């Protein structure tokens, strides 16, 4: 039986250099796969897909069966937290997620007492995944970072620059602080619950960290993640945490030491020199441009080679700099896997 620490991704998260590096891709279970689209069509809606263990387990396993990735990540969504807080989360075809925007006055009324009951199907999915995955495959749980989740709760939808949330923080700092603190606590508890039912490691997605200035990044991105990591380390010692602060650029240089994460996720805009400096402190994850998965061919090969040449001599989990897009050709993923693993360099 493979111990969790012996899984390739877990070795890298512990600071080891593994060659060739282990691979998984953000959004590896998704619309680019025909089997996903077939399964998705059987669900009443996107949240139904997330909350139905039979379906969520199936779509999580699909890319593992097809490609043999070294890690599977729970199929769910970062917005299950506001959904558990009764914010009327729903997904509109062609428009994305929508919910009731939260007012400053409503922040103090948020009630998480029923959160774990609401999210019980997610925990069941994690439990079943650990039982059904190959023993050598790492199982990753995840959640959205408090800042990123707050941006959707405040605007009620996605926006290009998250101006509504940034303005809310300026105009209502006390209520915004309460919202961030609340999300920090319940998000850490959510990850701990995933760990308790089988997740080997967890990732915190701060997808909108890049819109924050230096001071705000420290307050709204770094500080909450640090508190989450501290709680996880205290209550479930030894479980690695990956932090992905997309778009944070130069602010990532001290992100590991400032937050305590074991691994720093890198988006595709992070320069090689900065990436290598970050890697001196431990594991990094990333960071090929997802569009290369659409382009394929030489562009794909060059992207793979560049990441490995830049970061392959240290602890690296090969991944994209953000999620694989629906336009990607599934055969390009096969090409990527072969390239990373050295099967083909022609």
Active-site entry in 51, 67, 123, 152? 152
206 assigned to active site: no
Active-site entry in 31, 66, 130, 236? 31
CA angle 149, 270, 317 (to 5 degrees): 80
Active-site entry in 40, 130, 236, 306? 40
Instruction: Please report where in the chains the tokens 């809606």 appear, as a residue.
Output: 45
Q: Which residues, at least 6 apart from 7, have a Cβ–Cβ distance to it below 8 Å?
A: 70, 136, 137, 138, 200
Beta bridge partners of 36: none
CA distance 344 to 338: 6
Active-site entry in 7, 36, 70, 77? 77
31 assigned to active site: yes
Residue 96 CA, chain-centre distance (Å), reads 18
Half-sphere exposure for 189 (CA within 13 Å, toward CB): 15
CA distance 138 to 21: 14
User: What is the token pair recorded at 254?
Assistant: 């001290």
Start-end of H helices in 218-267: 223-235, 255-259
User: What is the token pair recorded at 131?
Assistant: 């039982």
27 assigned to active site: yes
Angle formed by the axes of helices 173-196 and 120-132, to 10°? Answer: 40
Active-site entry in 7, 27, 223, 339? 27
Give the residue numbers marked as catalytic.
Answer: 27, 31, 40, 77, 152
């Amino acid at each position: 039986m493979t111990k969790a620490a012996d899984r390739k991704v877990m070795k890298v998260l512990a600071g080891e250099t593994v060659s060739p590096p282990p691979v998984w891709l953000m959004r590896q279970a998704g619309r680019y796969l025909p089997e996903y689209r077939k399964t998705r069509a059987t669900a009443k809606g996107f949240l139904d897909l997330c909350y139905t263990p039979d379906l969520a387990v199936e779509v999580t396993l699909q890319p593992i069966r097809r490609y043999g990735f070294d890690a599977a990540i729970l199929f769910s969504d970062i917005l299950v937290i506001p959904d558990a807080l009764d914010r009327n989360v729903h997904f509109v075809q062609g428009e994305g997620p929508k919910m009731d925007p939260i007012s400053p006055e409503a922040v103090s009324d948020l009630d998480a007492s029923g959160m774990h009951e609401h999210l019980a199907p997610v925990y069941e999915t994690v439990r079943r995944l650990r039982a059904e995955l190959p023993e050598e495959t790492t199982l990753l749980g995840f959640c959205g970072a408090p800042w990123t989740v707050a941006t959707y709760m405040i605007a009620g939808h996605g926006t290009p620059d998250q101006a509504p949330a940034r303005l809310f923080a300026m105009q209502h700092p006390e209520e915004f602080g309460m919202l961030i603190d609340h999300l920090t606590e319940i998000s850490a508890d959510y990850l701990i619950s995933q760990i308790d039912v089988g997740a080997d490691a967890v990732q915190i997605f701060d997808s909108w960290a890049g819109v924050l200035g230096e001071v705000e990044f420290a307050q709204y991105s770094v500080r909450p993640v640090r508190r989450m990591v501290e709680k996880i380390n205290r209550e479930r010692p030894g479980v690695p945490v990956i932090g992905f602060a997309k778009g944070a650029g130069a602010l990532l240089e001290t992100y590991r030491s400032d937050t305590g994460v074991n691994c720093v996720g890198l988006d595709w805009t992070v320069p090689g020199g900065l990436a290598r400096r970050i890697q001196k402190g431990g594991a990094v994850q990333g960071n090929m441009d997802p569009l290369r998965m659409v382009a394929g061919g030489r562009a794909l090969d060059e992207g793979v080679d560049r990441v490995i040449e830049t970061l392959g001599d240290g602890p690296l989990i090969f991944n994209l700099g953000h999620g694989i897009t629906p336009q990607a050709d599934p055969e390009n993923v096969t090409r990527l896997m072969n390239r990373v693993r050295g099967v083909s360099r022609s």
